[in-house]
């Protein structure tokens, strides 16, 4: 604490150095804020469901919701729906036993 009050560096130099550091920090803050604003716009735009271009999809012109239909299509080709129980009513086994 005392070293800070009576250091080897003259007071004027210390004040000047502090001013320069503050100026540099303010410039950095302003630049970071401006860059952050541009990046945030890009992120917000990319995350919007109505945005025409989706960064994750291979075809850039499709809306974000099309990816789920692509998944459904892929599931169909793999036969993912074949294990689902039938919804057509009672099984014909009952008539066979009578």
37 counts as binding other proteins under rule CB under 8 A: yes
Identify which of residues 34 and 75 has a Cβ nearer to other proteins in the complex.
Answer: 34
Residues in 5-34 at the binding interface with other proteins, rule: CB under 8 A: 14-15, 17-19, 21-22, 25-26, 29-30, 33
Rounded Cα–Cα distance for residues 91 and 98 (Å): 14
Identify which of residues 61 and 77 has a Cβ nearer to other proteins in the complex.
Answer: 61
81 CB contacts (<8 Å, ≥6 apart)? 75
Rounded Cα–Cα distance for residues 50 and 28 (Å): 34
3-class SS of residue 30: helix
55 counts as binding other proteins under rule CB under 8 A: no
Identify which of residues 17 and 72 has a Cβ nearer to other proteins in the complex.
Answer: 17
């Amino acid at each position: 604490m005392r070293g800070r009050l009576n250091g080897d560096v003259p007071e004027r130099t210390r004040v000047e150095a502090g001013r320069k550091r503050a100026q540099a920090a303010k410039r950095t803050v302003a630049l970071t804020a401006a860059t952050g604003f541009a990046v945030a716009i890009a992120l917000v735009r990319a995350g919007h469901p109505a945005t025409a271009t989706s960064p994750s999809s291979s075809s850039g012109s499709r809306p974000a919701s099309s990816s789920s239909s692509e998944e459904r299509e892929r599931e169909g080709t793999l036969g993912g729906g074949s294990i689902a129980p039938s919804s057509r009513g009672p099984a014909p086994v009952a008539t066979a036993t009578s």
